[in-house]
Structure formats: structure tokens, C-alpha cells
Chain A
Amino acid sequence: MERNRAFEDERISAYVDGELSEDERAAFEAALAQDATLRRKVAVTQLLVREARALQQQAVPRNFILPREAVKQMRPPSSSEEEQMPAQDQESALRVMVRLGAALVVFAVVFIGLLQVLPSALVPRSPAPLAVQPTVPASPAVEESAPRMMPMLVAPESAAQPEALNQAPARPTPPAAAPQEMPLRSPRPLTMVILAVVLLLGLAGFWVIRARRR
């Protein structure tokens, strides 16, 4: 029912605008001849279009020219791509950029945090830690587990002499192997580059947003 009505409305509209093909027009006029209600609808639509056209002109209350002073600081943008977006889209794009910037910063913070707490096994490091040995006599339990752990942490020559280790389990570390301070771990260059890129992207995002708001 609703669809039929919409179809009839479209045909009336097209007939009034002269948009029907020859065949369609002939069929429509045949229907018009039979249907007084349809005739009245067409007549009122024609009247409506005629009177709507007569509404057209309103005197312009003032000139809308842009004063030179007002546009001095408002040059036409040089980049067309951004400006092709309507105002609503620009606003939503701004929102997306703000979120993206925030996400980048959060990501950077989390990334840095992870680097601080990552277990040493996951981060390849310089051989320096290999020299770190227990400074107190190991308890038997620790000692038992030591052989299993050692192959991973101990230098190859130590692994090649398991007997020596077993023979002197409780012997304190000789002065030569005195505890050394763990050197400051220097982040890998790739990590530094990633961090720098992430931070720069975040900063660039905020800078763009501020510039556009101005």
C-alpha cells in the first residue's frame, strides 16, 4: 500500500516535470482520464510547483562580501586534500587524530615500561652479566638446580667443567671473580629508533591539531 502510494507520488512528480517517457506519459494520462482523485492530485501538484517558484526572490538584507581585514589572517589553504572534507568530517577527523595521538603516547609509555621490566632472558644483553656469580655460599637446593640453570647462563668454559663446579659447591667466589656491578644496560639502537618515531608521531599529531584549531 505504502509502496504503491510512493510509486504514484513519483509518477505524479515525474509527470509534472515532463520526465516520463512517451509510453509512460500515455499510460499515465489514460489513468488520469479515469481517476478524478488522481487528476486533482496532479492539479494541486502543478499549482504547488507554480506557487513555489513565485516564492523565490527575497531582497538581500545586506552585502555579504568579506572585508579585507577579516580575511587577512585567513588565507585559503594550500592543501586541498584536507580541506575537501566538510566541517563535520573535519571534526571527526580531529577526534580520530586526538585519539590516535593519545594511543601513540600510551603505547610509547607502555613500551618503555615493558623494556624496564622485561626478563633478561627475553632481551639479549652484553656478556657482562655472565660474570655475576653468587656472592654467598649456595644452599644445597640452589646448588642442585644450578647445573640445570648454568648451561644457559654460564660461559661455555664453565659448562665444559661441570666436575669442578660439583667439587666445590660451597666454595665462596674467589676474589678474582668478586661481584661486579651490573653495567647499565644500553637499549638497542632499533628500540631507540622505534621509540623516537612513536614519540615524534605523537608530537606531530598534537602539533597538527593545535595548528588546525588556531
Chain B
Amino acid sequence: MNTEASLQDEAALIRAAQRGDISSFNALVLAYQALAYNVAYRLLGDADLAADATQEAFLSAFRHLQALRGTAFRPWLLRIVTRTCYDVLRRRQREMKRTVELDADTDEGEAAPRVELVASDAATPLEMAERNELRRLIARAVLELPFEQRVVFVLADVHGLRYEEIAAALEMPLGTVKSRLSRARAHLREMLLRHAELLPEL
């Protein structure tokens, strides 16, 4: 990411933050907040929940900063973000169970994540509309994956992290990362194949 501090600066910031310097920690927050928020957003599918989870994750990171020794900051932070998102989802599920509110309208609007309209080169308006519909479909389908597959897919395919970094972030073997990613892709591929009308000529 282009806003990330260089590794050397980052190490200095971490050391200062570990001594309690909040300005140094906030420099790290500014460097990583876009990544943290986007991961949370793709895992939760809701902008407000993602913002809350991101804030909670940074607070938790500051609280546990002394534990960061010999580990890169990014995977360590992503571990906290993904765990926080998991907690948020569980809390939400518990609340939903408690209230038992079944709103028939929600499956159309609320759950559908926002998809940015990206101008594509040499795309007609129709192609752009189809492309955006396809991305909306993918984003929605990602939220239906089991959480452990969703995390790996979001980190690997949405954010382009290397397998090794994901394994470090999620504290799992490389083989588990690969198999979860392949299962997530297979699920999403099956879903896409059921919407062949949105697929370009392949």
C-alpha cells in the first residue's frame, strides 16, 4: 500500500508506541486504516459495522501492543481485525436471535454491499453496468461464504496478500490457507456459473 510507512520507520513507530507514545501509534493507524477498514468492510458487508470494528481493532491493537515482538505489524494487525470482525458477527447473530426480526425487505437492499463504480477502459455503458452487477454479485456472495473461507478469500484475492502473510496473520499452516482459498473460490465460481448471463465471453 502506498500509504504504508517504510519498514524502518514502522519499527521506530512501533517502539515509540510501545512506550506509550500515542502520536506514533496514530501514525501507524493512518498508514493502515484503509486496509483495516476495507478488510472489515468485505468481511462484514456493512459500512457502519466495518467502521466500528476497525475502531475496536485499533483500540485492541494499542492495548496489546506489547505483545508485538518479532512479528510484522501488518499481519498482526490483520489478525486483530479479522478476530474483531468475527466477534462483531457473533454479537450481531446473538442480537438477531434475540430480537427475531424477520424483515422480508432486507435481502434486497440492506445486505447488498456498496460497489464502487469503476471506470473501465474501452467499456461501453452496458458492459460497465454488467461489470458492476458482476462485482455486486461477487461481493454479496463473499458474505455468504463460511467465515474462515471468507477471511482467506478477502485477504488473498481482494487484498492480494501472499499466502505466507495470510498464514502468519491467521496463525494457520500454509496448506490450510491454500485449501480454504480453493474451497472459497470453488463456491464463488459455482455461484457465478449460475449467473452465466453476467459472465463475459470466456
For residue B181, give the distance in angstroms from its CB to the closest CB of chain A: 6
Please name all residues of chain A whose beta carbon is closer than 8 Å to the beta carbon of B18 when the two chains form the complex.
76
Cβ distance B72 to chain A, nearest Cβ, rounded Å: 16
| Segment at the A interface, from B4-12, B23-31, B103-111 | B23-31
CB of B58 within 8 A of CB of A86, answer no
Task: From known contacts A9-B182, A9-B185, infer whether A48 and B38 are also in contact, taking CB-CB under 8 Å.
Answer: no
B42, B182, B192: most-surrounded residue (chain A CB, <10 A)? B182
Of listed B64, B65, B179, residue having the most chain A CB within 10 A: B64
Size of interface on A: residues with Cβ below 8 Å to B: 47
A62 touching B41 by the CB < 8 A rule? no
Q: Do the beta carbons of B135 and A55 come within 8 Å of each other?
A: yes
A84 to B76, CA, bound (A): 11
Considering the complex, which residues of chain A in the window 13-53 have a beta carbon less than 8 Å from any beta carbon of chain B? 13-14, 16, 19, 40-41, 43-45, 47-49, 51-53
Nearest 9 interchain pairs by C-beta: A13-B182, A43-B202, A52-B157, A65-B26, A9-B186, A84-B67, A80-B66, A10-B182, A9-B182
Q: Which residues of B contact A (CB under 8 A)?
A: 17-18, 20, 22, 25-26, 29-30, 33-34, 36-38, 41-42, 47, 51, 54-55, 58-60, 62-67, 69, 83, 87, 114-116, 118, 131, 134-135, 138-139, 142, 153, 157-160, 178-179, 181-183, 185-186, 188-189, 192-193, 199-200, 202
